[in-house]
Structure 1
């Protein structure tokens, strides 16, 4: 996939060996702004959406195109407005030939913020995306990354009150501007997530990029598996986290979580209408303590979820001085993936946490 800056539009290319490529003669997506040649809408990403069995494209467009996202004859004379901003657009196809469902899916709320692009992928049963947020204030003009999630690949939530997920460095630092490239999904090696990104040490606008020491390089961010965000306890008393109803499909439950000090997590299994299931009360649950990627919940054989298989249940977690990242149902045992313990001081840093 490429964008032609002369003929203006997004084109597909094909190759039998990955070396010699042939480009389609016509663009598969050309917007009115593309036709008019006054908008730079080149940033885009495409994935094969395994949850929809469709090809999906995310690209930046302008709000002026909200009524019609596909160019028509005569759009070459489309007039440029006084104010131009970038927002996120969407389209999908079952065969890479017939495209449809064009729409705008995300618009920034602040006048000095634009969405320059988004890399998105399927993660289990949800969508995880890295939104490229351009800050256009004259004293800033850089790009950082916010985490977004969705259950349908169209309606996205900017996580953790729109806090920065991958922050840019200070001015003239190697990653003053960050773009997570077109890496379709993170690389996971030994429970460590590797996220590669493009980094620039110059301002986005003006001639700053012409400085002799202005460079574009590759950066790498790493973090333990599933530690994208967390729910963290606030006040000293016990906080409670209850899941939505779901059907039990696998026999064992593991949680990715951390506690500190005297903190702990205990679980119980409820019916859909909030009644405790016999044998699965909090008092009968094991106590989770420490910091690990896979704490087993319910150590006794009688507390395995296979005893409530195919039932619709809720899980209720009672937490104190704790941080909850993720949970997973499994058929096999998981390595605990023990991480360094947290202190109460370290737990105060929660840039990607929501306080319960």
Structure 2
């Protein structure tokens, strides 16, 4: 199985025999999604993982005076953070961009499409797609390193495919626990082999020098940024790609035990009556949030085929299969005349930056297609702030009955509730209730010291109970009392985890 370690994903996968592989693939085909119903409907214990409030009843039993508000990212620059500026680049960053944060090297790494001139064996030059590579220490200021990975002269190009076959649109994962260091980095990309179009698979020791599987690992017209990751909820690799349902581009999901043998993709999100008649889901942008319980995020590019623009939209899910998509721009358009005023193709990944999350997109000035100006932009939201439960006055949110636990490592005398909330113009108080809905003595709203700031890890204190020691392991409910405030998530931690001190 895959374990998590302090923000770094570590993969532990059992060996898979032929028989198990056969049944794993067979289970992936069906009218309904094969993984539906695997997870428990509601949580029983809360503690080690961050618990996010989404627009559902997973955590929440009741609420009043509350509105669920989806996030809108804030752009960090009015200009592209990366654009065409090298003599071998015949276009700006073309089509898509992929960025990850390397926890081991403490470095942001980017792979992006660009067009370059290639001399064929018969001497005729042509423009073909290649993959450029860039690095950054802060995710904002980028450097294109001088490399000779695929060229004789120094460039930042790292991938051409092979055999003159068409290819493009890379998405890269760093697998920290693969026992073979040569396969530390893994890539899925669009690829054409003798059977037509599909997904190619490549691997690398450093993300720069790549080896390529000779044939497509799954066939289909997946000409989008295909997302994949190891999902320990299901114990397999999961990919999100694009298929057509009733003539419209839709988001599909496939699974694999080894990245080479895949189930048939099954649609998980399609345009519906809430979308415009000419809108398609152009990019998947799906990922699972680490260190949070059962939270999947979608940042999809919605293509209006008449206006020919792409609008990034946000979606959330508890299982990666059933989605709640908000029909509002997640990354706003630039003002008229700006380099990204025509929208953009968003990438999908959790890219941390302190207590923020970064979201990259390939922006265009006019429309989907050829543009006089284009580049890579970046926007941000607060950590875990995908959906907020907001009270524009007085409101309250009560959770389902849960046990406060810390997965066997919890020291009751050190337990602290951390709340991700914004309350600068109001306040948040928290009550702890028993199974019957009665306030537990010492944990009333009157005893709670109000939170009146904006922060992702605000410790909740009660004047008569400095820690959660009296209620750890008991079935309880948490009641959040809001006044002109918004809550996003909570977590139970030990004071030693965050350097907190008891203030009894």
Give the aligned partner of residue 348 of structure 1.
Answer: none
**Is the CA contact 1:51–1:122 (under 8 Å) kept in the aligned structure 2?**
no
Give the aligned partner of residue 36 of structure 2.
Answer: none
Which has the larger helix fraction?
A: 1
Distance 2:368 2:207 in 1: 33
Give the aligned partner of residue 280 of structure 2.
Answer: 114
Give the aligned partner of residue 400 of structure 2.
Answer: 244
**Is the CA contact 2:248–2:271 (under 8 Å) kept in the aligned structure 1?**
no
Alignment of 1:57-136 (within 5 A): 57-64=239-246, 84-100=247-263, 102-109=265-272, 110=275, 111-123=277-289, 124-125=292-293, 126-136=295-305
Distance 1:233 1:318 in 2: 9
In the alignment, structure 1 residue 221 sits paired with structure 2 residue 221: no
Distance 1:144 1:307 in 2: 49
Distance 1:101 1:283 in 2: 56
Q: 1:167-222: per-residue Cα shift (whole Å, max 9, x none)?
A: 2224552222222235x322223x233222211212125xxx2x6xx132110112
Give the aligned partner of residue 79 of structure 1.
Answer: none
Distance 1:22 1:118 in 2: 26
In the alignment, structure 1 residue 29 sits paired with structure 2 residue 218: yes
- Relative contact order (alpha carbons < 8 A, sep ≥ 6): 1 or 2 greater? 2
SS of structure 2 residue aligned to 1:117 = coil
**Is the CA contact 2:419–2:459 (under 8 Å) kept in the aligned structure 1?**
yes
Q: Give, in angstroms, the shift of residue 89 of structure 1.
A: 0.5
Give the aligned partner of residue 186 of structure 1.
Answer: 351
Distance 1:87 1:300 in 2: 52
SS of structure 2 residue aligned to 1:307 = helix
In the alignment, structure 1 residue 148 sits paired with structure 2 residue 306: no
Distance 1:154 1:226 in 2: 20
TM-score (norm 2): 0.54
Give the aligned partner of residue 439 of structure 2.
Answer: 276
Distance 1:239 1:14 in 2: 51
Q: 1:223-277: per-residue Cα shift (whole Å, max 9, x none)?
A: 333333311113x4x211112232212411111222244x222110112342222
- RMSD over aligned Cα, in angstroms? 2.4
Change (3 A) 1:293 1:174: same
**Is the CA contact 2:192–2:216 (under 8 Å) kept in the aligned structure 1?**
no
The partner residue of 1:51 within 207, 215, 233 is: 233
TM-score (norm 1): 0.75
**Is the CA contact 1:254–1:330 (under 8 Å) kept in the aligned structure 2?**
yes
Distance 1:185 1:335 in 2: 25
**Is the CA contact 2:347–2:359 (under 8 Å) kept in the aligned structure 1?**
no
Can you give the 5+ residue segments of structure 2 that lack an aligned partner in the other structure?
1-187, 407-414
Can you give the 5+ residue segments of structure 1 that lack an aligned partner in the other structure?
35-39, 65-83, 337-356
Distance 2:190 2:264 in 1: 20
Distance 2:359 2:270 in 1: 25
Q: 1:37-94: per-residue Cα shift (whole Å, max 9, x none)?
A: xxx6443111122333321100110015xxxxxxxxxxxxxxxxxxx32000000112
In the alignment, structure 1 residue 169 sits paired with structure 2 residue 358: no
Aligned length: 295
